């Protein structure tokens, strides 16, 4: 399907997943349409945290520095007992990605910046107050039936591919008959967003109050906000939980009074652990909450959606520009789903640590962690168990090789660019295929150069050490910074046989 009215990609849903996809595809020069039911960004603050890898994706579309202005990086994380005494003081160490490892954020502000970013691309059209009613595969494309909610009229939109990023209740997923298996927690959580009026001790840190009577999370969020989340007890009805007196009782137990904060909104959420059975049906891809849902304990729901589209969009661009076969798109699910499954497992584990209701077990937990946390190495082991897994694909679109560097995402140090100015590595790579080598160009590099991949000599010491630890003197990077192929000095780089038609991968 290809005529002037056909879009390369239609994105349904303009939450963080859809807006990131629109930025990525817009930058790659694709003709894109975004369809969003609501008139404006969703006003309820949901996500409050993200990580360095996600910032790196937003960096690739030129928005990281702007987003950073509205974020709080690297705040301390404490697990505290019922008396607010810390028994774990957790620090997330930098993994050399060029961004602080953990960030607190205010989702409506992030959504707004992502949407402003999309406005830079004349090749991306955004239809607000339009609801996608039906997605139908027709020949070699997809037809979308869309309702214009402002005029009560209908239109047909044609696209070669569709990214369904319409959130957890994804109507497209339902229409495609894709299962969304898993479970919904019976426990409901009260989420309170506040505006800070007067700071208090520990206002600047995330605290998991591991109080068996009322487990609570409280967390600074930027732009003068602070969030509390706690589960409803089975005997508490929603209306009474949301009454001001009930909220102030919970905040008051932590010493917070109306002098400290003004309540902005109180909402009740249920948490889900779900994953779509298939993430691709023909030309339609599920992404973000449409493909998976997880509890918020390590702040990864939105972040997982951003990772999804970072994985998918360069592949769509390569296929649309005729530089890669459609089968490349099958690697989307095989690469992303194992990561999402592991992140979800960790989020659930973290939830179990925080919400232990048995007093004896909770007391034992506090003592054990308090004692352990004094031992060297325990903090980093705990972070490794509960924070996001390594950025590494074990299967997918990778060279057929058992080289230990293949599948890892390259770190991102600050490096000296060709004009002598310090920049982050990705700003040099610019979302293209590239060959990096430490000493001299490896045998086999020429074949990659002929496809258009630049040859870049790496001298930055941390990057050289990182490569040597993985026994690599040369690596071939995909446009998303993951290592496609690698070699040691005496060996030639694998030939680009599987990617002969990809050239530099992106269209722009």
Ligand X SMILES: Cc1cc2nc3c(=O)[nH]c(=O)nc-3n(C[C@H](O)[C@H](O)[C@H](O)COP(=O)(O)OP(=O)(O)OC[C@H]3O[C@@H](n4cnc5c(N)ncnc54)[C@H](O)[C@@H]3O)c2cc1C
Residues that bind ligand X (CB under 6 A): 12-18, 35-38, 42, 46-50, 107, 131-132, 165-167, 171, 191, 269, 288-289, 296, 299-303, 305
Which residue, among 361, 271, 311, has the nearest Cα to 480 in the 3D structure? 311
CB of 47 to ligand X, least distance (A): 3
Nearer to ligand X, 160 or 343 (CB): 343
Nearer to ligand X, 246 or 447 (CB): 246
Write the DSSP string, 343-409.
HHHHHHHHHHHHT---HHHHHHHHHHHHHHTTSTTHHHHHHHHHSPPPSB-SSSS--S---TTTTBB
CB of 173 to ligand X, least distance (A): 10
Token code pair at residue 460? 């930055």
CB of 168 to ligand X, least distance (A): 6
CB of 65 to ligand X, least distance (A): 20
Distance (Å) of CA 449 to CA 137, 405, 419, 443: 38, 20, 22, 12
Nearer to ligand X, 47 or 329 (CB): 47
Helices (H), ranges, 223-283: 238-241, 244-253
- Neighbouring-strand partners of residue 78: 89, 207
Token code pair at residue 22? 């629109």
Nearer to ligand X, 40 or 450 (CB): 40
CB of 174 to ligand X, least distance (A): 10
Nearer to ligand X, 147 or 362 (CB): 147
Q: Is 313 exposed, middle or buried (0-12, 13-18, 19+ CB in 10 A)?
A: buried
End-to-end alpha-carbon separation of the chain, Å? 21
CB of 267 to ligand X, least distance (A): 8
CB of 361 to ligand X, least distance (A): 26
- Report d(CA 71, CA 77) in Å as an integer: 16
- Helix (H) / strand (E) element for 269: namely strand 261-276
Token code pair at residue 124? 């991306």
Place of tokens 């040597």: 468
Distance (Å) of CA 398 to CA 215, 392, 407, 451, 461: 43, 11, 7, 17, 26
- Neighbouring-strand partners of residue 265: 193
CB of 324 to ligand X, least distance (A): 25
Nearer to ligand X, 299 or 411 (CB): 299
Helices (H), ranges, 79-236: 107-118, 171-175
Nearer to ligand X, 47 or 483 (CB): 47
- Report d(CA 305, CA 167) in Å as an integer: 10
CB of 105 to ligand X, least distance (A): 8
Query: 10 Å Cβ neighbour count for 49?
Result: 26
- Neighbouring-strand partners of residue 363: none
Q: In 3-state terms, what secondary structure has residue 434? A: strand
Nearer to ligand X, 231 or 407 (CB): 231
């Amino acid at each position: 399907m290809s005529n002037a009215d056909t879009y390369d990609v239609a994105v349904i849903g303009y939450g963080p997943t859809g807006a990131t996809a629109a930025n990525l595809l817009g930058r790659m020069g694709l003709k894109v349409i975004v369809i969003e039911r609501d008139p404006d960004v969703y006003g309820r603050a949901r996500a409050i945290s993200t990580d360095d890898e996600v910032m790196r994706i937003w960096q690739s579309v030129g928005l990281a520095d702007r987003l950073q202005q509205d974020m709080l990086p690297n705040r301390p994380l404490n697990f505290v007992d019922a008396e607010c005494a810390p028994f774990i003081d957790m620090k997330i160490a930098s993994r050399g990605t060029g961004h602080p490892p953990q960030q607190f954020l205010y989702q409506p502000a992030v959504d707004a910046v992502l949407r402003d970013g999309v406005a830079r691309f004349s090749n991306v059209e955004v239809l607000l107050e339009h609801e996608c009613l039906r997605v139908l595969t027709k020949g070699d494309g997809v037809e979308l039936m869309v309702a214009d909610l402002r005029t009560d009229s209908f239109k047909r939109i044609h696209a070669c591919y569709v990214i369904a990023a319409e959130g957890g209740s994804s109507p497209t997923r339902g229409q495609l008959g894709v299962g969304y298996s898993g479970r919904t927690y019976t426990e409901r959580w009260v989420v309170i967003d506040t505006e800070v009026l007067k700071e208090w001790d520990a206002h600047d840190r995330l605290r998991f109050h591991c109080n068996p009577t009322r487990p609570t999370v409280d967390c600074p969020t930027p732009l003068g906000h602070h969030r509390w989340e706690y589960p409803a007890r089975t005997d508490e009805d929603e209306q009474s939980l949301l009454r001001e007196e009930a909220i102030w009782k919970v905040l008051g137990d932590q010493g917070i009074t109306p002098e400290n904060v003004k309540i902005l909104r109180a909402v009740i959420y249920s948490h889900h652990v779900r994953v779509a059975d298939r993430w691709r049906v023909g030309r339609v891809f599920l992404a973000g909450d449409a493909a998976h849902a997880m509890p918020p304990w390590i702040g990864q729901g939105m972040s997982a959606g951003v990772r999804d589209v970072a994985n998918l969009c360069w592949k769509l661009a390569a296929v649309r520009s005729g530089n890669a076969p459609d089968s490349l798109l099958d690697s989307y699910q095989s690469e992303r789903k194992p990561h999402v499954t592991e992140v979800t497992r960790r989020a659930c584990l973290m939830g179990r640590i925080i919400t232990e209701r048995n007093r004896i077990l909770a007391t034992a937990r506090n003592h054990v962690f308090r004692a352990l946390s004094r031992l060297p190495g325990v903090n980093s082991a705990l972070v490794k168990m509960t924070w996001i897994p390594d950025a590494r694909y074990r299967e997918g679109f990778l060279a057929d090789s058992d080289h230990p560097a293949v599948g890892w995402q390259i770190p991102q140090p600050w490096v000296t660019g060709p004009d002598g100015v310090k920049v982050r590595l990705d700003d040099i790579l610019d979302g293209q295929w590239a060959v990096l080598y430490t000493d001299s160009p490896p045998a086999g590099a020429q074949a990659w150069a002929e496809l258009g991949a630049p040859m870049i000599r790496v001298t930055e010491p941390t990057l050289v050490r990182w490569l040597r630890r993985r026994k690599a003197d040369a690596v071939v990077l995909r446009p998303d910074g993951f290592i496609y192929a690698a070699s040691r000095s005496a060996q030639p780089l694998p030939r680009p046989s599987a990617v002969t038609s990809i050239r530099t991968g992106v269209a722009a």
